[in-house]
Structure 1
Amino acid sequence: MDLKKIKITKQAKICLSLLIAIIMLLFIIIILYNDKFYPNTSIGGIDVSNMTLSEAKNAVQTDLKNHVLVIKGRNNAKYELRGADINLNANYEKQVEDCFKKTHGLFSFYKIISGEDFDVNFDVSYNKEAFKNNLSQSFLITGDNYKITAPVDAHVEYDKTAKSGKVIKEKQGNQLDQDKFYSYVEKSIQQLKTRVNLDKANVYLKPKYVQTDKEVLNELSQYNNYLCRWVCFDMGEKHYEIISPKEIKDWIVIGDDASVSIDQEKMAQWVEKFCLKYKTVGKTRKFKSHTGEVLEVSGGDYGWQIDYSQTVDQVYKALTENNTQSDVDAYVKNKSNTNKKKLLKKLEPIYKNKAYKMNFENPTEDYNTQTYTEVDISEQMVYVFQNGQVVYSAKCVTGLPSDVTRSTKTGCWYIKDKKLEYTLTGADYTTPTKYWVRITWTGTGYHYMNRSDWDKWSPELYKTRGSHGCINLQLEDVKNIYNLVSMRDMVFIHD
């Protein structure tokens, strides 16, 4: 007997038996699921396993009525959009029937094991106005009990520790782009999704710049270029006014486009304080009168005055001129005095008006206390001081006090011009004169006046026969005064 043939025959019988068993099993399954969906079957995400066609339709209808879309957002936000709140509905019967036919196709029996997820987009309908109102009133939009923060661009700020600029990383925030948000949720509803994650849906507003953008790196470079500098005004006698990064950091403005500029208004406020600090024009001064008494006189135009407008331009130019980038980078890395000196800009103050000297301890004592003239309106006298003593005096006639346009103005003035001959002009007069010494820009000065009433002179004459504001003198007196006084000498006029 051939054992090999007997063995093959047994194996064939076993295989045939298994095949028959499988066919019978499949036949039983086909009969059992003839009117049902196979296990592990879903339609559009709705489980219809082991359901008849009618039961599956009911399941879809029930799911639509009870449908909830869970919307997950940033900062642990979770919002539920219920189908019932937006009148969610769909034409689903044909899609379910088509899926049922595919389940029971000629060669679909193998899906009894694997099941099938039918990716079906139901013809969904809903109340669009209710949908929009629901989302617009959700805490994701309104921020009720949910803090909404806008995205923040990566930007440069002052670092107190490093004493230079540093890049602050962007912040994403949780503020929604509402149009994208509505559109995304609408598509999710149409697909009857049950859960969505907004953080993966590109619906949040984004920062315009992130820390690696070239615009931000350029911003840092320009910021430090403006910041890392010292502007030094040499005021004389080892007195300095310095604009340092401590002040500059508050003047730097960064635009929405990552541009860097200087806030000229804030800068100008510093310039204004600087100008006022050294301004002595109009201040009250003390001086020794001809009587030996120390008097106080206010006003006038004598003194120090820094030119504000030119200084604004001067400072702005000093702040915006590019430093050498390598010098800036060196200082940012190492705050040594050597690196600091390379970023120092020295300036000379631009004066609109100057005095005899700068007195840092007593600013109003800025005139030559030994050489000046005094005009005493109440006495109607002029006194010339040299070396601290009266070297000449003369009677005079000052402006008519009852007429504000003609009265002689009190104050601390200085001699601005000297001419041997000069023509005085006014609204109703033209008068040639000699030995003109200008005291004010508005026309007050010493000059000769051929008055017919000099023989009637008294300290009261000016009250009725006063000048148009000038200080009238007799010829010999004015000639002597002209020769004694010098340009920019102080003139004290008081009553």
Structure 2
Amino acid sequence: MGYDVNDFQDKLEKELENYVGGPLPDDDEFGRDNYDGDGLYDNYDYDDDESGDKKNRIKTIIISAVLVLTVVLVGIYGGFTYYYHNRFYKGTVINNTDCGRLTVSQAEEKIRKNVENYELKLKFRGGEKKDIRSSDIDLEYIPDDSLTNLRKSQSPFLWPKGIFGGSKKYNFKANITYDENKLDQIVSYIPQLQDENMQGPEDAKVEFLDNKFQVTEEVRGNKLDKGKALGFIKKAIDSGQKNLSLEKAGAYEEPKVLSDDKNLQTQAAQLNELTASSITYQLPQGDQVLDGNTLRQWLFVDDNGNYSKDDDVWNQHIREYVQNLAESVDTYDVDTKFQATGLGEITVKGKFGFQINQEAEAAQLLDELSNHTVTTRKPAFSQEAPTYENNGFGNSYVEIDLSRQHVWVYKDGALAVDTGCVSGKMTSDRWTPPGIFHLTFKKSPSVLRGAKRADGTYEYESPVTYWMPFNGGIGLHDATWRTSGQFGTNIYKNRGSHGCINLPLSKAKAIYEIIDESMPIICYYSETYNVAPAEKKADETKEAPTASPDEEKKQDSDTTKEKDKTKEEKKKDTPAPTKTPPAPTKVPTPAPTDPPVTETPTPTDPPAPTNTPEEPSPDQPTENE
């Protein structure tokens, strides 16, 4: 039931005209200009003798009008009260369905149809969408007393609340049902909820970029809180909501610190002032940079995130940094990695490689940091290998495996010489110690002499064509007294040399032509070994100390004079040819079964005894080869 206000106004005017017996004055002749403020129009043209009666008539008209209006309003209110006795207030929304002015049965039918056609549109960050339809989850509306009770709670006498109080939403979960397992399964397979497709948020932070500290933007990412997302979806379905933005709902994990954070801006400014240096260390294993990323960790940070420098703490960090740098770089006289031929990586040790002078480096670093220096340099070394390549060994070196009794010589990364050898006998007075060495010098030809007698002669003189000492009296040389079948075998264990590396003549020549002082000589045992005690024999000939190059020249000169007696001796003293040196046709008397070495080695590991002959004298038994 409704009421037309315009119709009511027309009827009221007609009643008043009938009452006054004529038409009512219009706005122009009964306007505001004739109004005296007390509800009367004093300037209206009344006759003086009739003015009192007319005023009374007007008052009566107004009172009557008010009474009529009251009756009309009461009628209207009564009509709407009756109208809403079984209907919902205007603006009543139930489960996202407008049920205003509907009866309970009409509302239930409308809700049922909306549920049947229900579709929830999910919106993800980045504009991606996903629809969940009622048929996917067996969504249905089951009428119960919810709507009836809601209708009863809306008193028909308070129906103006629906008109003047705005709309009011009422949501009831009890009358909407769906298969939660199906919903959980659908949600679990949504691509945007898969771990591999989600990127977590990252807070804005201070980072060292382009040689200075800057505040980098936060990363919002697209990582959803799965529990929250499912909760918001269920809540939307229960209420009949048709569109759900998971971002607006707050289902995404968000960064906690944003780039406009004042503390971050302050930190960046402080760090740029305190850590302006950048030192790029050129190391064997590659460059290492010391810059603000590390220096910031040496600073003190208060509770407000402000940075400051404590000199004692700063200096301690410098010492620790240099110590750690040395531990990563130093290879001098410590176990060092080496790529052994046919074996792969092993460890070797010797007086070779790199060693940082920690005191000098710490002092230099402190000065550079104080002056905000930006530079690229090597550390302050106390020992330095000739190259950074191959852990300091470079690509030209001599490799001797004393277990496999083999020598490899590499030149510019290519294998140049590959040969078997015979090293020292495995007794403490004759074994070949492992280590890393350099060539002392090389000479061709040379004479290895025994101890000098009182009369000026030597116990023995044994010429070799190629002599290459590298560890005191230990060196590489040709050993023509050995058969080819002895090289590269286990003969060294019981019939080895007195420490030198015996080689076939042609191989000694090839090595002699390649080797120089810059090439490291790496000696190692690739297998477990035992060194037996020295053999003490009364008739054992003592080895003479190695002569210096100048002394050797004088000795060679003396020997030459003695050998000038025969043409054969002259030929033996002639320098070796450039290509293939001739093997001696006659061994000088006394001819040893194994030519003697000059001086006992001074090995880096277990010391070898002094004055031990490299090779036996002629009267020694053959087992001492």
Is the shorter-chain TM-score for this pair beyond 0.5, marking a shared fold?
A: yes
Task: Describe the superposition over 1:202-236 as per-residue Cα deviations: whole angstroms up to 9, x where unpaired.
Answer: 21123365443868976997799778332679xxx
Offset at residue 349 of structure 1 (A): 0.9
Residue 192 of structure 1: aligned partner: 240
Deviations 1:376-427 (A, max 9, x none): 7x965269xxxxxxxx9x836999975335341388799xxxxxxxxxx943
1:448 matches 2:611: yes
Matched, 1:74 2:162: no
Judge conservation of contact 2:81–2:157 (CA < 8 Å) in 1: no
Residue 55 (structure 1) shift: 1.0
Amino acid at match of 2:179: N
Q: Secondary structure at the residue paired with 1:111?
A: helix
Give, in angstroms, the shift of residue 129 of structure 1. 0.9
Query: Which residue of 2 is the match for residue 404 of structure 1?
Result: 492
Question: Contact (CA 8 Å) 1:37, 1:49: kept in 2 or not?
Answer: yes
| Cα offsets for 1:92-120 (capped at 9, x unmatched) | 53221122223343333553565642423
Alignment of 1:18-167 (within 5 A): 18-112=69-163, 114=165, 116-123=167-174, 124-142=176-194, 148-160=198-210, 163-167=211-215
TM-score scaled by length of structure 2: 0.46
Query: Are the counterparts in 2 of residues 149 and 173 from structure 1 also a CA contact under 8 Å?
Result: yes
Question: 1:62: how far off?
Answer: 1.9
Partner of residue 429, structure 1: 535
What is the match of residue 351 of structure 1?
383
1:395 is matched with: 461
Residue 35 of structure 1: CA displacement?
Answer: 3.7
Deviation of 1:56 (Å): 0.9
Shift of 1:122: 2.7
**Residue 348 to residue 228, structure 1, CA distance change in 2 (3 Å):** same
**CA offsets, 1:434-458, max 9 Å, x none?**
967543235676843589964x39x
Structure 2 counterparts to residues 177-216 of structure 1, below 5 A:
177-207=225-255, 209-211=257-259, 212=261
Q: CA distance change for structure 1 residues 305 and 94 in 2, over 3 Å: closer, same or farther?
A: same
State the distance in 2 between where 1:148 and 1:204 align.
10
Describe the shift of the 1:213–1:451 C-alpha distance in structure 2 as closer, same or farther (beyond 3 A). closer
Query: Is this contact kept in 1: 2:208–2:214, CA < 8 A?
Result: yes
Aligned partners of 2:207 and 2:215 also within 8 Å: yes
Cα 1:203–1:232 change in 2 (3 A) is closer
TM-score of the superposed pair, with normalisation by structure 1: 0.56
Between the aligned residues of both structures, percent identity stands at 14
Distance apart, 1:302 and its partner CA: 9.1
Alpha-carbon distance in structure 2 between the residues aligned to 1:274 and 1:103: 91
Give the C-alpha shift of residue 60 in structure 1. 1.7
Q: Report the secondary structure of 2:156's partner residue.
A: coil
- Checking the alignment, whether the CA contact within 8 Å between 1:37 and 1:52 is kept in structure 2 is yes
Secondary structure of the structure 1 residue equivalent to 2:88: coil
Structure 1 residue 72: Cα displacement: 2.2
Equivalent residues, number: 373
- Whole-angstrom CA distance in 2 between matches of 1:273 and 1:244: 15
Q: Could you report, residue by residue, the CA deviation over 1:6-47 in whole angstroms, capped at 9, with x for unpaired residues?
A: 333222111111111112223333444444334433223211
Work out the CA distance in 2 between the residues paired with 1:269 and 1:217.
Answer: 35
Question: Do the aligned partners of residues 443 and 117 (structure 1) sit closer, same or farther apart at CA in structure 2, a change above 3 Å counting?
Answer: closer
User: For the residues of structure 2 that align with 1:178 and 1:301, how far apart are their CA atoms?
Assistant: 58
2:88·2:154 contact (CA, 8 Å) conserved in 1? Answer: yes
Judge which range, 41-50 or 401-410, deviates more. Answer: 401-410
CA RMSD of aligned residues (A): 5.7
1:257-292 Cα shifts (integer Å, max 9, x gaps) = x9xx9xx9xx979965999xxx9x99xxxxxxxxxx
Q: Which amino acid aligns with 2:277?
A: C
Structure number having the greater strand percentage: 1
Residue 170 (structure 1) aligned with residue 218 (structure 2): yes
Letter in 2 for 1:11: I
CA distance, structure 2, for counterparts of residue 28 and residue 37 of structure 1 = 15
Contact 1:151/1:207 (CA < 8 Å) preserved in 2? yes
Query: Which runs of 5 or more structure 1 residues have no equivalent in the other structure?
Result: 234-239, 283-299, 328-337, 355-362, 365-370, 384-391, 415-424, 467-495
Residue in 2 that maps onto 1:475: none
In structure 1, the residue corresponding to 2:244 is in which secondary structure? Answer: strand
Give the 3 Å change call, closer, same or farther, for CA 224–73 of structure 1 in structure 2: farther
1:143 Cα offset (Å): 9.2
Q: Do 1:374 and 1:382's aligned partners in 2 also have CA atoms closer than 8 Å?
A: no
CA distance in 2, matches of 1:220, 1:244: 28
Give the C-alpha shift of residue 176 in structure 1. 1.0
Give 1:252 shift. 6.7
- Secondary structure of 1:187 counterpart: helix
Residue number among 277, 282, 296 corresponding to 1:228 in the alignment: 277
Residues 217, 87 of structure 1: alpha-carbon distance in 2 compared, 3 angstrom cutoff:
farther
2:448 maps to what in 1?
A: 381
1:150 is matched by which residue type in structure 2?
G
What is the Cα deviation at residue 88 of structure 1?
2.2
Aligned with 2:172: secondary structure? coil
SS state of the match for residue 158, structure 2? coil
How much has 1:352 moved relative to structure 2?
A: 7.9
Amino acid at match of 1:340: T
SS at match of 1:166: strand
Structure 2: 5+ residue stretches without partners: 1-51, 298-304, 306-316, 340-347, 387-395, 398-438, 451-457, 464-472, 503-514, 521-530, 546-598
User: Structure 1 residue 185: deviation in Å?
Assistant: 1.6
* Residues 199, 221 of structure 2: 8 Å contact kept: yes
Q: How far apart, in 1, do the equivalents of 2:614 and 2:199 lie?
A: 84
Deviation of 1:82 after TM superposition, in Å, equals 2.0
Output aligned runs, 1:308-387, within 5 Å. Answer: 339-340=372-373, 348-351=380-383, 374=442, 381=448
Q: Alignment partner of 2:168: what SS? A: strand
SS of alignment partner, residue 247 of structure 2: helix
Rounded Cα–Cα distance in structure 1 between residues aligned with 2:614 and 2:83 = 140
Which has the higher Rg, Structure 1 or Structure 2?
A: 2
Report the alpha carbon displacement of residue 59 of structure 1 after superposing the two structures with TM: 1.2
Tell me how far 1:323 sits from its aligned partner: 9.1
- Separation (CA, whole Å) in 2 of partners of 1:274 and 1:220: 41
The amino acid across from 1:439 in the alignment is T
Decide whether the 8 Å contact of 2:279 with 2:291 is kept in 1.
no
With over 3 angstroms needed to count, the CA separation of the structure-2 counterparts of 1:81 and 1:225, relative to structure 1, is farther
Deviation at 1:73, TM superposition (A): 2.0
SS in 2 for 1:305: coil
